[in-house]
Structure 1
Amino acid sequence: MSGWKKLTSIYLIFPLLLTGCWDIKDIQDVNYLTSIGIDYVEGQYVVYGQLLDFSDVAKMESGKPLQPIPVWVGQGMGDTTLSAVNDLYHTSEMRIFYGQIITVVVSENVLKKGLKEIDELRHRYYEMRYTPWFFGTTEPIDQIFAVTPFFNLSPLMSLLHQPQESYKQESVIAPITSREFVSDIHEPGKATLLPSLSISDRHWKKGGDPHSMLEMDGVFVLQDGKYRGRLTRENIPGLRWVEPQTQRSPLILRSGGKPQVALSLENPKVKIIPHVKGKEVTYTVDVKLSGNVSEIIQPMSERLMEEKAAELVQNEIKRTFEKGLEIHSDLLQLEHALYRQKNKDWKKIYAERDFKITTESLQEIKVSVKLNNAGKLKLP
């Protein structure tokens, strides 16, 4: 065989050795789920899927769209979550992909029923990650998925998909990922706090008409992996002061019901100290906060501000603790602190018994507040 024929043969063989993705699909040929919701109604599971057209999302890079980006919400029903997903497939024109899910929402009915079916769904579809945000709700999930943000922006900019942005500005209820949720429910003595998502049309208007927006209005509480109940935002004012993730949160000092000073408190440093005497345990909660003065309505010295703020924070923590006890939950994570710090004592005292935290368990709440500055405001 001549040299040029050998060379030609080699060139023809090379393409056969190249690997490639023979079954790869274009982006427009796949339905990408961005959120998935699970409900339990009259003995059947209902699975909701939120779809977005990523080509519309990409167009936003060149400017704000004139029209709202459409949101598609699908619904499937079945005896299990997997059969409900299969029911959804019946009318899906293209393959559904789970690797882009940003948020998982479950109803209170699902929390009451148990989390086994949620685990089955997550383990069945390997594309699903543990990074999505995790919420509970008492609202219809399809309506949650249909809420759109300001200015015709992408639904990916909403609280549903970016809860951390709102939390940075006002830290009240900490968002949680699926990974954190799964980790917490398996931690002995720990209360898992799942943010409750609701729809509100009280705050914003568009062209004079109310515009629905999402908000976190409370928490669903699971103690040692068992569902205990739901607490509203008003019932848990002290959670923010014992949550290390808190970045800043407002506090209003009042006298006779009238506001005097508005503060912004930041970055709590929290210590929970267990005191073991025989088979009895009490706890001290030590909280240190720093902050700034946001507004002065009635003149007050800096020292008095710090004292009144510390007293108010202390009362909010105690109130939150007591609300948790009403549903047999330890919102301050006292028992978990004993489990972590004095595991041998925990095994002797708690491992063989059910929930043991009582009002007497909380021996003391210590709070100190240090105000760094008042900005342009002048303190007396």
Structure 2
Amino acid sequence: MTKRLLAPLLAAVLLSGCWGARNIDHIVYIHAVGIDYQDGKFVLYVQLVSFSGLAKVEAGGAREQAVLSVGKATAETFDLAAHKIYQSIQQMVSWGHVKSIVFTKRALQPHVIRNTIDLLTRYNEIRHTIWVYATDEPLEQLFRATPLLLTSSYYSLLSNPEELFRQSSFIRPIRLNRFIAHLDEPAMTARLPYLGLTKTSWTEDEKNKTMLQLQGVCFLHHYKLQACARFPEAKGIRWVEQDIHRTPLAIRKEGKIAATLIIRSPHAEWTLKRDNGKYTAHLHVRIDGNIIEEANDSLSRNELVRLAKQTVKQEIRRTYQWGASRGIDTLNLSAVFHRNALHEWRRLSVNGTIPLNDRFLPSISVDLIIRSGGKEKADYRVGD
């Protein structure tokens, strides 16, 4: 009988592995990482978020003033800068809750990106699904911008971009693993969301409040930054991007807003046609929309559809031509050739990009269905 009891007791002693457990308050959790590059050195920023207030809110308690800290260190490499952070932080550091990494435009250089990605993919605490951004703002100011109503930075745009993207889709947020894949693709141009700060859009307690804001997109090819575009030049991307959930389309007539549509889940399909040995690209966009505003009551439904389709085409062409004038394949037309006409891509491409001239400007067709007109519920379909 004694022998029978002895074995389970020994097993219980060996399995009780909580001696080395640490209290959550004794560990510092890094929430976001920022990379700048100045005078040949890495400037590392880390944003720390307190989980104690977050736990109280989720348990039904009252919200407290959001607490966050920002650390900074400079060194020749990312890792050396991180160890300088350790020297002054005075507590054990956990990288397991990092949600995003932000590069300044100065840091978007091939050797800086490669060094950073190499470290992040080697270090087992950091997930490969963190969000990646670019910015031209001072990183300390960017990390000190907190959400409204005392909400924790744990729910900010840095860590939770999908909620905003589902409600208003322009630039698709990108995770680290997808960003790396796009950089390594020979014909792909990576599109990185561009973060800025708005200081006049919101007030809190009668004072201007600085808020994070998506302001455009940066284009990188083979780990090299090409340029960054603001929203007016980048609007055409939403019609060729995947997983666009909900995006507004403003319809203008004679320079004035005539109506606004809410477009859901647009679908783009590329085809290549060969004629006399030459390839041309065609883009077909299918969109469904609801009329959310109609400022011009005299506008016929056919005219509204015509203007909407025309606007989509103009946005796509503007984005393509903005990039073509700078040698940037904003629509990733080179990737279409790489997938569907590999021999032609090899013949034409220079450093992975096909010539971005008028010959390769894609022809565009748009198929629009208006699902709801607001007061009247009906289907309206007009094709090219």
TM band (smaller chain): over 0.9
**Secondary structure of 1:272's aligned partner:** strand
The TM-score normalised by the length of structure 2 is: 0.91
Q: C-alpha distance in 1, partners of 2:4/2:352?
A: 80
The residue number in structure 2 matching 1:376 is 375
Q: C-alpha distance in 1, partners of 2:353/2:201?
A: 43
Q: C-alpha distance in 2, partners of 1:325/1:234?
A: 16
Instruction: Say if 2:299 is the partner of 1:317.
Output: no
Q: How does 1:1-380 map to 2 (within 5 A)?
A: 10=7, 13-18=10-15, 20=17, 22-63=19-60, 65-112=62-109, 114=111, 115-276=113-274, 280-299=278-297, 300-350=299-349, 355-376=354-375
CA contact (8 A) 1:65 1:153 kept: no
Q: Residues 201-223 of structure 1, C-alpha deviation per residue, up to 9 Å, x if partnerless?
A: 22111122211111110111012
Q: Residues 156-202 of structure 1, C-alpha deviation per residue, up to 9 Å, x if partnerless?
A: 12111111111111111111111111111111211111001111022
Shift of 1:57: 0.9
Alignment-mate amino acid for residue 149 of structure 2: F
Alpha carbons of 1:326 and 1:68: their partners in 2 closer, same or farther (altered >3 Å)?
A: farther
Give the aligned length: 377
Q: Residues 249-276 of structure 1, C-alpha deviation per residue, up to 9 Å, x if partnerless?
A: 1122222222111111121110111234
CA contact (8 A) 1:48 1:73 kept: yes
**Secondary structure of 1:100's aligned partner:** coil
Q: C-alpha distance in 2, partners of 1:206/1:128?
A: 34
Shift of 1:344: 3.9
Alpha carbons of 1:14 and 1:261: their partners in 2 closer, same or farther (altered >3 Å)?
A: closer
Shift of 1:130: 0.9
Q: C-alpha distance in 2, partners of 1:59/1:12?
A: 38
CA contact (8 A) 2:219 2:225 kept: yes
Alpha carbons of 1:276 and 1:21: their partners in 2 closer, same or farther (altered >3 Å)?
A: farther
Shift of 1:378: 8.6
Alignment-mate amino acid for residue 325 of structure 1: A
The residue number in structure 1 matching 2:381 is none
Q: Residues 47-83 of structure 1, C-alpha deviation per residue, up to 9 Å, x if partnerless?
A: 1111112122101124464432111111111011111
CA contact (8 A) 1:302 1:371 kept: no
CA contact (8 A) 1:279 1:349 kept: no
Between 344-353 and 288-297, report the one with greater CA deviation: 344-353
Q: C-alpha distance in 2, partners of 1:363/1:242?
A: 12
Q: C-alpha distance in 1, partners of 2:303/2:171?
A: 28
Between 17-26 and 172-181, report the one with greater CA deviation: 17-26
Q: C-alpha distance in 2, partners of 1:142/1:59?
A: 27
The residue number in structure 1 matching 2:382 is none
Q: C-alpha distance in 2, partners of 1:94/1:55?
A: 16
Alignment-mate amino acid for residue 211 of structure 1: K
CA contact (8 A) 2:252 2:307 kept: no
Q: C-alpha distance in 2, partners of 1:10/1:225?
A: 58
Q: C-alpha distance in 2, partners of 1:363/1:253?
A: 23
Alpha carbons of 1:94 and 1:292: their partners in 2 closer, same or farther (altered >3 Å)?
A: same
Alpha carbons of 1:12 and 1:307: their partners in 2 closer, same or farther (altered >3 Å)?
A: closer
Unaligned runs of at least 5 residues, structure 1: none
Q: Residues 314-350 of structure 1, C-alpha deviation per residue, up to 9 Å, x if partnerless?
A: 0110000011112211111111012112334433443
CA contact (8 A) 1:221 1:229 kept: yes
Q: C-alpha distance in 2, partners of 1:157/1:15?
A: 40
**Secondary structure of 1:91's aligned partner:** helix
Alpha carbons of 1:55 and 1:256: their partners in 2 closer, same or farther (altered >3 Å)?
A: same
Q: Residues 298-319 of structure 1, C-alpha deviation per residue, up to 9 Å, x if partnerless?
A: 1222221111100111011000
**Superposed CA RMSD:** 2.3
Shift of 1:22: 4.6
CA contact (8 A) 2:35 2:43 kept: yes
Alpha carbons of 1:7 and 1:158: their partners in 2 closer, same or farther (altered >3 Å)?
A: closer
CA contact (8 A) 1:136 1:220 kept: yes
Alpha carbons of 1:312 and 1:7: their partners in 2 closer, same or farther (altered >3 Å)?
A: closer
Q: C-alpha distance in 2, partners of 1:168/1:64?
A: 28
CA contact (8 A) 1:267 1:289 kept: yes
Q: Kindly, what percent of the aligned residue pairs are identical? A: 28
Shift of 1:9: 5.4
